[in-house]
Structure 1
Amino acid sequence: MEPFDIDMSAPVDPAGARDGLGGPGQGGHTGPNWYIAFGMDLGADEGTEVFAPFDAHITKFQPHDPATDSGKVYGAQIFMRSPNDGMGAFCTHLTGTPDGLGIGTEVKRGDLLGTVFAHAGIPPHLHMAVCEVLGGVDGERRGVDLYQFFLDLERAAAGTVIPVTFAQDGSAPIPQTD
Structure 2
Amino acid sequence: MASFDIDLSNPFPSGFTGGLGGPNQGGHQPPNWYIQFGMDLGADEGTQIFAAFDAHITKLTPHDPGADTQKVYGAQLFMRAPNDMMGGFYTHLTDVPPELAVDSQVSRGDLLGTVLRFDPTPPHLHLALVEIIGGAPGGTYQGVDLYKLFLDTANTDTVTTVTFSQDGSPPLVG
**Fold match by TM threshold 0.5:** yes
**TM-aligned CA deviation for residue 122 of structure 1:** 0.4
Q: Is 1:122 the equivalent of 2:95?
A: no
In structure 1, the partner of 2:161 is: 163
In structure 1, the partner of 2:172 is: 174
Distance in 1, Cα, partners of 2:162 & 2:135: 19
Distance in 1, Cα, partners of 2:118 & 2:144: 27
- Give 1:54's aligned amino acid: F
SS in 1 for 2:135: coil
Structure 1 segment 22-171 matched on structure 2, within 5 A:
22-138=21-137, 139-155=139-155, 158-171=156-169
The two structures, once aligned, show a CA RMSD in angstroms of 0.9
Distance in 2, Cα, partners of 1:56 & 1:3: 18
**TM-aligned CA deviation for residue 121 of structure 1:** 1.4
Distance in 2, Cα, partners of 1:31 & 1:87: 19
User: Which 4+ stretches in 1 moved above 2 angstroms?
Assistant: none
Taking structure 1 as the reference length, what is the TM-score of the superposition? 0.94
Alignment gaps of 5+ in structure 2: none
**TM-aligned CA deviation for residue 153 of structure 1:** 1.1
Alignment gaps of 5+ in structure 1: none
**TM-aligned CA deviation for residue 120 of structure 1:** 2.3
Taking structure 2 as the reference length, what is the TM-score of the superposition? 0.96
Retained in 1: the 8 A contact 2:13–2:157?
no
Identity %: 61
Number of residues of Structure 1 aligned to a counterpart in Structure 2: 173
